[in-house]
Structure 1
Amino acid sequence: MSTDSPLKARITEDMKSAMRAGDKPRLGTIRLMLAAVKQVEVDTRVSLDDTQVLAVLDKMVKQRRESIEQYRGAGRDDLADVEVRELEVIQSYLPEPLSEGEITAMIDAAISETGASSVRDMGQVMGLIKPRIQGRADMAAVSAQVKARLA
């Protein structure tokens, strides 16, 4: 399974472009992204595909959002601004976010596909939904919606 992810290749090319352009903030963020992907590959001893790369980037987006919230709460807007710039760069690699209607339709489809009828079946539903919406919606919010629907 040594087929490289087209997304990872694009990020690598963008790193070279940022280097040539002397765009240090963008370059730094892209290097962080590649390092996070590489770390997962080393830990799992597997070359990641696009879905797995998206999962890594999705996690980075979540971390940036949490950091921004904490920095703003502590009155450190200077640090929050750095995180915002990183967040914008990372999000530029994620697919177009899903609308509420699309998320609801996917949840409905997954519930009917798995035959889920209670919160005990939530794992099956989330297992089906997650690969379809990775990087396109906040997984915590989707999880809460699924839980509410099955309750």
Structure 2
Amino acid sequence: MLRTDLNDALKQALRARDARTAATLRLILAALKDRDIAARSEGNSDGISDDQIRQMLQKMVRQSREASKTYADAGRDDLAEKEEQEIKVLQRFLPRQLDEAETREAVDRTIEELGADSVKDMGTVMNRLRTDFAGQMDFAKASKVAKQRLT
């Protein structure tokens, strides 16, 4: 279970005296605890599922990438590097992401399978991609590729 993996990784980072990894894992676990509390108030006593944890981690990766870019643009390379290190820790708990070529291939294959031929089919294509590649694809990039192919 992903929740157990996160706790075990924190213990390992603390034993190894890896402050950066430990801080990132504490950040993840704090966000997870917040989401669990919100889920319990909605009647889910077990907290959030592994899929929801992955979605949370993906969101954290996106936020760190944006922050890293902002810091780099502002000339704060030290803070940009810190964000990049956090991204590496976060990605350890996510499935391998498809690169651009693999994303284009997946979009093309999905369009062909569905017989999509216009922008009107965009929603259907994206829904299939979200189902088939949950956690493995940057859907903003996939959406751009699909839009190019369908216009």
Measured on the aligned residues, the alpha-carbon RMSD in Å equals 2.1
Distance 2:59 2:37 in 1: 17
Is 102-111 or 17-26 further displaced after alignment? 102-111
Distance 1:82 1:100 in 2: 25
- CA offsets, 1:16-75, max 9 Å, x none? 222232222111101112222333333344433332222111111111111111101111
Q: What's 2:140 paired with?
A: 140
Distance 1:118 1:101 in 2: 22
Runs (5+) with no aligned partner, structure 1: 1-5
Q: How many residue pairs were aligned?
A: 146
TM-score by length of 2: 0.81
Distance 2:23 2:107 in 1: 37
Runs (5+) with no aligned partner, structure 2: none
1:34 aligns with 2:29: yes
Tell me which of the two structures has the higher relative contact order, counting C-alpha pairs closer than 8 angstroms and 6 or more residues apart.
1
Is 85-94 or 127-136 further displaced after alignment? 127-136
**Segments of 4+ in structure 1 off by > 6 A?**
none
Distance 1:48 1:107 in 2: 30
Percent sequence identity over aligned pairs = 40
Is 47-56 or 75-84 further displaced after alignment? 47-56
Q: What's 2:18 paired with?
A: 23
TM-score by length of 1: 0.81
